[in-house]
Amino acid sequence: MPRFYCPAPLQPDALLNLPPQAARHVQVLRLQPGQALTLFNGEGGEFEATVTQMGRSEVQVRIGIHQPLDRAPCRAVTLALGMPANERMDWLVEKATELGVSGLQPLMTERSVLRLSGERAEKKVAHWHSVAVAASEQCGGNRVPPVQPVSTLSAWLAHLPVTGGGARLLLSLRPNSPGLREAMAPLAPDVPSTLLSGPEGGLSPAEEEAALASGFIAVSLGQRTLRAETAALAALAALLL
Ligand code: SAM
């Protein structure tokens, strides 16, 4: 059944003209009046719906019953990461969304290749949001992980709440760091977590120290040096699946 993200209030039995993005999808699939689809607006669960009218560009549907299905993983994990460059970040947003990440914080760090600010940063975040929407439509996730505005690592650390907020895990290559599973063992299975990983060039020692001073613990993913996107996804898979 085709599934579309529909960021609008959804009420069973109401008639709705789909927002442009969803309407375009329906047009492309050449759905006809009477055909069924699934809509979700990111506020939880999904709705059955039926096409009632197809115009040149607009599409009208009748909303059906709400299904309280989120297909959410056992715990909430936010990924804060030194952005890998270009299409690798798109790929990472898509895969992290499929795995069930609950939010993404793109960071600029000392060694970041990808440097974004102002309107260019806003456009990139909007693009990554659309990647997360498409991944949610494909995989069945009904909550689209928010992509936060690009920040520097230092500014982001400075605004983290001082306590609480669950486990804070720094993916680090520094020697003698405990393995991820070992670090997570004492924690409740559903504790929310924040993962911090570096860009291609890694975080600088000063940046790692700043993260540790903000309550992060360094954890290892083994003896191999993984690419930035591989490390982030491997840690997400270990925590979410
Ligand atoms: N030359 C860089 C360095 O020494 O930091 C390599 C950085 S690695 C390509 C990119 C990021 O992936 C690292 O900053 C770290 O967050 C994560 N990472 C890669 N391999 C890892 C491992 N075995 N354990 C923990 N984190 C790892």
Give the pLDDT confidence score for residue 32 in this predicted structure.
Answer: 94
Give the pLDDT confidence score for residue 188 in this predicted structure.
Answer: 86
Question: Does any ligand 1 atom lie closer than 6 A to the CB of residue 228?
Answer: yes
Q: How many helices (H) and strands (E) does the chain have?
A: 7, 11
For residues 90 and 146, membership in a common domain is answered with yes
Give the pLDDT confidence score for residue 166 in this predicted structure.
Answer: 87
Q: How many separate domains does the chain show?
A: 2
Q: Whose CA is nearest to atom 4 of ligand 1?
A: 202
Domain that includes residue 129, residue range:
77-240
Residue 72 lies in a domain: no
pTM for this one?
0.95
Task: Lay out the sheet containing 46-54: strands in order across.
Answer: 3-5, 36-40, 46-54, 59-67, 15-17
CA distances (Å), origin 132, targets 83, 127, 144: 16, 9, 6
For residues 62 and 97, membership in a common domain is answered with no
Give the pLDDT confidence score for residue 165 in this predicted structure.
Answer: 65
Q: Whose CA is nearest to atom 1 of ligand 1?
A: 201
Question: Does any ligand 1 atom lie closer than 6 A to the CB of residue 197?
Answer: yes
Q: Whose CA is nearest to atom 12 of ligand 1?
A: 228
Give the pLDDT confidence score for residue 162 in this predicted structure.
Answer: 80
**pLDDT lower than 50: segments of the chain:** none
To the nearest whole number, what is the mean pLDDT of the chain?
Answer: 95
